Amino acid sequence: MDTLIPYDSINPDTLMTILEDIVTRDGTDYGDYELSSQQKCQQALNSLKAGDAVLLFDTESETIKLLPKSELAAYDRF
């Protein structure tokens, strides 16, 4: 079962490591222009802080995903 992870319950250094992993995964698209990894991490953090995105531990792939909050409805648990 997938699990929501409150971003503010994670050590800030660990959170940045998680976000770096997420934004550097193959297939991650950030629009029409290239951003640095640091900029992508900051955008992801801003989305988490604003409540527009959530961190979800995917038990099937054993990875943490960053999802727009609007996509939570696609998961049975939420």
**Percent of the chain surpassing pLDDT 70:** 85
Given a cut of 90, is residue 47 above it in pLDDT?
Answer: yes
Tell me the two tokens of residue 71: 């996509």
Query: pLDDT, tens digit, for every residue of 64-77?
Result: 999 999 988 876 55
Q: What integer pLDDT is reported at residue 36 of this predicted model?
A: 86
In CATH terms, the fold of domain 3-74 is Arc Repressor Mutant, subunit A (1.10.10)
Domain ranges, ordered by start, for the chain: 3-74
Q: Phi/psi zone of residue 40: left (φ > 0), alpha (ψ -120 to 50 degrees), beta?
A: alpha
pTM of the complete model: 0.82
Most confident stretch, 29-38, 49-58, 68-77: 49-58
